[in-house]
Amino acid sequence: MASTEGRGPRQIFAAFQWSMKGLAACFRHEASFRLEVWIAVVVVPLGLWLGNGGVEKVLLILFPMLVLSAELLNSAIEAVVDKVSPEFHELAGRAKDMGSAAVFILLTMVAVTWALILGPRWF
C-alpha cells in the first residue's frame, strides 16, 4: 500500500506558499514580469467585461495568464542558466532566447485573440 504521509492539506498549503514565493521573487527581480502583471491587471477584467459569453471571456483572459506563466518559466530558465554558466556560452544564450521567444509567441496570441474577437465589433 502506498504511503500518504506528507500529503493532504498541509502539503497543499506548503505548495501554495512555495508558489507565492516564486511569484514574489519573479515580481521583485524581473522587470518584464512586473510590466506583464500590470498589463494583466488591466486586460483580464477588461476581457471579462468585453467578452460575449463564456468562451470569449475565457479566450480574452487565457493568453494574458499564459504570458505570465511563460514569463515565470522563462525567468526560472534564465536564473538556472546564470547560476550554472555565469560566463557567456552559446547554448546558454540559446536557452535564454528560446524562453524569450515562448513569451513573445504568447504575447502575439494575446494581440491576435483580442483583434479577432473584439476587432469586428469596433471596425
Q: Is the Cβ–Cβ distance between 40 and 67 less than 8 Å? A: yes
Q: Is the Cβ–Cβ distance between 51 and 59 less than 8 Å? A: yes
Binding residues for a divalent metal cation: 30, 78
- The sign one gets for the Cα dihedral 95, 98, 102, 108 is positive
71 noted as active-site residue: yes
Binding residues for ATP: 30, 78, 87-89, 96-97
Binding residues for substrate: 71, 100
Binding residues: 30, 71, 78, 87-89, 96-97, 100
Cβ neighbours of 66 (radius 10 Å): 17
From 5, 36, 56, 71, the catalytic residue: 71
Cβ neighbours of 71 (radius 10 Å): 24
Active site residues: 71
